[in-house]
Structure 1
Amino acid sequence: MRGEAPRFKRCCFCIPLRRGLLGWGYLMLVLNILKAILFTVLYFEQIIILLPSIIILIVDVIFNVLLIVACHKKSPKLMKMYFVYGVVVVILIFASTSAMIYDDVQRAVSTWDTSYNGFADIAIRVVATPAMCFVDIFIYIYVLFLVRSERIKLLEQNLEIQFVNNGAEAESYCVCVADAATCARDDHGSSLKATDALCDA
């Protein structure tokens, strides 16, 4: 038996889905712009660090704008594009976090220092930083579930609209056919009456 992914009706159990996704999109848009400004100020002379960071932020800004447009236009297609992008981002964050944890553990083992500063540095590298990365992954996954839930809701609404329209068209067609048949019968009856009148004459 195949399990289904959970569907959410509200964001954070209190906000309508579309409004919550719009809030997320605008929030990430502002944060990414601030990050780009901060990285430019801090690493202005270190182009090797600055350039990849700016490219990543620009891509993220583009897809956040895509999410905002998708929510405003209620477009399942655009939401699917953002969903695919979000899955790729989660995979990349998980892979980079795993590699970072492995590298930090190897350094901690090779350069073990029992002093307070050494232990604090290891705790930050091996525990605190990866924990923050996994929180980012959790938030991204939650947002992806929200996007999926909103997309499914929009698809279901579109199907309902199409069903109603098709039903209305079919009903109109039946009424037209019935009217045509009635007219044909009336015309046929009129012709018979005219023939009978001629015969009587």
Structure 2
Amino acid sequence: MPRNKISDDIEGVVKYLLTKKYSYSVIKKELSEMNLNVSRSTISRIANKIGKQRQLDLLNNQKPKFNRRRHVATPTIVRRITSYISKENPPTVRLMAARCNISIGAVFKIIRDVIHAKCRKKRPVHRLYLAVIENRRTRGWRMYHRLCNERYKNYVTTDEAWFYLDASQDIRDIYYVRSNELPDEVKKIQQNDLHPVAIMV
């Protein structure tokens, strides 16, 4: 036989007496004085919220839990990444992600969507020493006369004749430019070797 369900009024009285820290025996005695016959097991079930309806009420009264992703684009992280990309030789995206304890994709999104910066590569060039600059200044005019009037087609220049082995394997450094800034001239990375290893082609 199914158990007799007590009314909500009686259950409310039991909950009120439980808030006063009464024992089960005292609550049973108080209810008997009200001509209410409630067993100690029923009082225990009410106190421990045992029962389908009580469990359902307990779930409905709980605050909903939201599993939100951690917001990584905090002002502190944005300031750190901004300081990194503002350097002359900025670190790699992997290194910035490791220093800020965030993912590489998060660093890309912060640079692109929050800071609004673009990554560009520096152009590798050779370092010009004072002696080389002086030789170019004195020899430039004679070379101009020799190559003018389309006579340059009969010559093979040094840039065309030499293929630099180390220059072909060089990894270019990068720098960042913000979209709201005026485009500046392309930054360059200088090589200290005056005559790098080369072959004739």
Fold match, TM over 0.5? no
Greater fraction of residues in strand: 2
Instruction: Mark the structure with the bigger radius of gyration.
Output: 2
Using structure 1 for the length normalisation, give the TM-score. 0.25
Greater fraction of residues in helix: 1
Using structure 2 for the length normalisation, give the TM-score. 0.25
